[in-house]
Amino acid sequence: MPKIVLIRHAHSTANAAGVLSGQLPDVHLSKSGQEQAGRLAERLGKLTISQVQLSPMDRCSETLAPWLAKYGKGVTVISEPNLVEVNYGKWSGKKLATLSRAKLWRKVQGQPSSVTFPDGESLAQMQVRAMQSVHDFFASDLELTIMVSHGDVIKAIVASSMGMHLDDFQRIVIDPASITILESSGGAIRLTRLNDSDSSVSELLQSKSKRGHLLGGGKGITK
């Protein structure tokens, strides 16, 4: 069954500073993030995959660099603008502690579907563009792709894929360097892994078994 592996970039210098970096340039992985990226490479392991899609931000390419160096020979790397971080406009570069006192912050938390950032984009626009990448992949003849993106972007993808309203997407947690897996064979999208920051997923991703009927929870993936 075709699968998308959604990966949030590893811990960044902006994360360490408590800053909302958005689409600002020159944001890289922190030392902790570099260590997370190394562990991520081993958690993914050797995969049969033809392409990966990366947000254009440096921290996303840096997150997958260890895996590409060890296992990614012959893999096509695509810089995908639909996966880029939210354009937070005038909020970009500001401390989260400061932004949390802004009037708009309450809407961001409770009614994100109504939020457009000052001189930036709306969260609804972001969700539409991000889901375009998801739908394009599932409409292709590819079996597996990795998409490295950002916390709010992945939360919006998961919410849409699960039929949740965007106003509920803050209920989803996506940690740095975490793995979330979606699968679909042309019908509804299924969520098979969410915000996994510890386990190896290589066996799951290489399995050819179909999940079939899920009444009673299903039997899971077997070899």
User: Is domain 3-206 annotated with CATH 3.40.50.300?
Assistant: no
For residue 63, give every residue at least 6 positions away whose Cβ sits within 8 Å of its Cβ, in sequence order, or none. Answer: 7, 9, 10, 29, 33, 36, 37, 40, 148, 177
Q: Which sign does the torsion angle of CA 71, 73, 78, 79 carry?
A: positive
pLDDT of residue 215: 56
pLDDT (tens digit, 9 = 90+) per residue, 84-115? 999 999 999 999 999 999 999 999 999 999 99
Domain ranges of the chain: 3-206
Whether pTM > 0.85 for this model: the answer is yes
In a structure prediction context, what are the per-residue pLDDT tens digits for the chain, which is 223 residues long?
A: 899 999 999 999 999 999 999 999 999 999 999 999 999 999 999 999 989 999 999 999 999 999 999 999 999 999 999 999 999 999 999 999 999 999 999 999 999 999 999 999 999 999 999 999 999 999 999 999 999 999 999 999 999 999 999 999 999 999 999 999 999 988 899 999 999 999 999 888 876 665 555 556 556 655 5
What gap in Å lies between CA 61 and CA 64, rounded to an integer? 5
| Helix 151-161 vs helix 123-138: crossing angle, to nearest 10 | 60
